[in-house]
Structure 1
Amino acid sequence: MVGHYVGRTRPQHAGNHGVSMRVRPVCHQIELAAETTPDMNITIRQLKVFVAAYQTRSFTLAGERMHMTQSAVSKICRELEDALEFQLFERSARTLTPVDGAAELYALALEILASVDVAERSVRSLKSLDRGRVHIAASPLIMASLMAPAIQVFHAENPAVHLELYELTTDEGIDHVLNGKADVALVSMAEPHPKLQRREGYRSSMWVACRPEHALAAAPSATLAALAAYPHIGLRAGYGFGRIVNQVLAGEGLEFTSVIGGGSLMSSLALCRYGAGIALIPGYVTELAQSLGLAVVPIEGDAIAHKLYLVSRINTRLSLAAARFLAIAEETILGISHAADGVVADQPS
């Protein structure tokens, strides 16, 4: 297995097993142990079992997930604790309780396992594009509006490569890339991430959607200040576009009266259609808004732009298939972005 050994440790003279080392961060403990003479290996298998036990809080449930017996899971976790000189769980008859510091090892284990998973996918498809898998993450509307054309181009060129799609929120998509579950994601990112490589894939003006009889509908464009006078259907800040809108409004010194805080752009458009208020939307949603019978009006201001980024893990070699998809996605999505620049869509009659 690629990257089978992730570190080497040697037990020290631990008087109270798992207690004396508990005050030290687990990552630091691993680094200290790696400097000693090796006579025990921390394996990928141990980390996978630990992750399963941490997530399920049960050796029995972890065993079911890993297709192992309860006693085998318990033994492997004990071996890992012995290697680290660090107790990871308080054990009771019914459940496992992670001790202080176990969460830190869990985060580190997820990162290591993600790197191994990405490396194995890369190795399996090094020879050609005749096989392999590409894992892609984006929100449902981004997937349908922007990723779908790139997916079609890639699939026509490489029909034997399996494409796995994850339709997620921005934060979930970023986590999927960080954890190795996705090779590439198209997401809204206000700030760079130290472990992600990002390249701008899409940029467009913001738009406002409203009913055709609304006072804004006949205008060629609108200012944010003018929109503040109307009830607004907003997105919660936990969503990428919702965060961007809040940042833009703060930069302009404005605050909208949000009559409804939705969880998706699709919900915002549906509520807008029923007259609950107006909704700020990104450019890639304008066609959908019009198909629902709504009017769409561009927002004035060059700085008021919505950006999406193609992201992948830094210092991780993408498989040939994933690298090819990333190149196609960048070209295709940039083409869509450029085509949208300066274009005011026809309004519904």
Structure 2
Amino acid sequence: MTVKQLRAFLAVAQTLSFTRACDRLHLSQPALSLAIKGLEDSLGGPLLIRSTRRVSLTPEGEALVPLAKRLLADWDNTEERLRQHFTLELGRVAIAAMPSFACNLLPDALMAFRSRFPRIQVTVHDVINEQVIEMVRHERVELGIAFAPEAMEDLAFTPLFSDRFVAVLPPDSPLAEATSISWQALLAEDLITLQRPSMVRRLLDQALADQGIELRVAFESHQLATVGRMVACGLGVSAVPSLCQPHMQALGARCLPLHGPIISHRIGLLSPRDRKLSVAAKALAEVLEESVQAPMLRSK
């Protein structure tokens, strides 16, 4: 059976007239007759009884009418829903983002996305960097926002901006009065950092090792919020990506630019390399690139 054959049959069954069915479907009589014959041949028997005076249904034809109505309604509904997905009138997309991005830059991007596509449902997974990469790699989400991964054979990475480490200081520290601080001065204090295997910690370890700088740690924690509160309470100092700066300041710490050296890293969009994104995911990726890159450029 084809949709065209079912529409032809239903039009004749409802009008009991080939002429009126032709007018309804904008088909010629030969084309309509051919569609009905094709349907009957595929099912194995007659559905209509056609005489010179009238058209009627066989018992099999009568049994097909409600089934044909249901099948065509399902088809039309499916066609309409798919059209809405392709035109972004309907749909859903899942994204994973590290918490520092999820709570700082992502909300504004989602506001911009929502204003353009109000009927697209977005699910946000705010998880640590390593989990973002794993969720994208195992296709649990279509998009991720994370640091550039070390192994990208199966991932596509679109850079959004480069972030640099900033110093996090107690508000009453003498160092907090400066406009910037060197790594040498920062590391002379008790250092509080994230624990391994945090990507932030690994980036810090690697970058300082490349500069021949030894990292001596006084306190470690799994959570940035804990690090921020420990610094704010005067237990020591820390260094985090500038993306975390609003979070650290909200916890009561003071943030300053770091130099000697400037340590930066790329943050961007991740997606599976060999999988085509849905229309909704493509649209979200475009909005993220627009809304995230613009403020980062202005900040420079």
Per the alignment, in what secondary structure is the counterpart of residue 175 of structure 2? coil
What is the aligned partner in structure 2 of residue 338 from structure 1? Answer: 297
Corresponding letter in the other structure for 1:320: V
C-alpha distance in 1 between matches for 2:214 and 2:103: 31
- Of the three residues 193, 207, 212, the one matched with 2:166 is 207
- Deviation string 1:15-70 (CA, Å, 9 cap, x unpaired) is xxxxxxxxxxxxxxxxxxxxxxxxxxxxxxxxxxxxxxxxxxxxxxxxxxxxxxxx
- Of the three residues 241, 255, 268, the one matched with 2:200 is 241
What is the aligned partner in structure 2 of residue 347 from structure 1? Answer: none
What is the aligned partner in structure 1 of residue 250 from structure 2? Answer: 291
- Deviation string 1:264-294 (CA, Å, 9 cap, x unpaired) is 2111101111111101011122122223332
Counterparts of 1:9-28 in structure 2, within 5 Å, are none
What is the aligned partner in structure 2 of residue 136 from structure 1? Answer: 95
C-alpha distance in 2 between matches for 1:152 and 1:215: 40
C-alpha distance in 1 between matches for 2:182 and 2:149: 22
Contact 2:183 2:261 in 1 (8 A): no
Corresponding letter in the other structure for 1:243: R
Cα RMSD after superposing both structures? 1.8
Moved over 3 A (4+): 123-126
Alpha-carbon shift at residue 335 of structure 1 (Å): 1.8
Residue identity over aligned pairs, in percent, reads: 24
C-alpha distance in 1 between matches for 2:260 and 2:298: 18
Contact 1:192 1:198 in 2 (8 A): no
C-alpha distance in 1 between matches for 2:251 and 2:225: 10
What is the aligned partner in structure 1 of residue 120 from structure 2? Answer: 161
Per the alignment, in what secondary structure is the counterpart of residue 162 of structure 2? strand
Per the alignment, in what secondary structure is the counterpart of residue 145 of structure 1? coil
C-alpha distance in 1 between matches for 2:237 and 2:94: 35
What is the aligned partner in structure 2 of residue 107 from structure 1? Answer: none
Contact 1:228 1:254 in 2 (8 A): no
What is the aligned partner in structure 2 of residue 279 from structure 1? Answer: 238
Moved more, 231-240 or 297-306: 297-306
C-alpha distance in 1 between matches for 2:84 and 2:155: 22
Alpha-carbon shift at residue 179 of structure 1 (Å): 1.1
What is the aligned partner in structure 2 of residue 61 from structure 1? Answer: none
Corresponding letter in the other structure for 1:297: L
- Deviation string 1:225-254 (CA, Å, 9 cap, x unpaired) is 221211111112211211111111111111
Corresponding letter in the other structure for 2:193: G
- Deviation string 1:98-152 (CA, Å, 9 cap, x unpaired) is xxxxxxxxxxxxxxxxxxxxxxxxx797522011111110122210112221111
- Of the three residues 261, 282, 285, the one matched with 1:323 is 282
More contact order relative to length (CA 8 Å, sep ≥ 6): 2
Structure 1: gaps (5+ residues): 1-122, 342-349
What is the aligned partner in structure 1 of residue 211 from structure 2? Answer: 252
Rg bigger for which structure?
A: 2
Moved more, 184-193 or 323-332: 184-193
Contact 1:187 1:240 in 2 (8 A): no
Contact 1:125 1:320 in 2 (8 A): no
Alpha-carbon shift at residue 184 of structure 1 (Å): 0.7
Corresponding letter in the other structure for 2:213: L
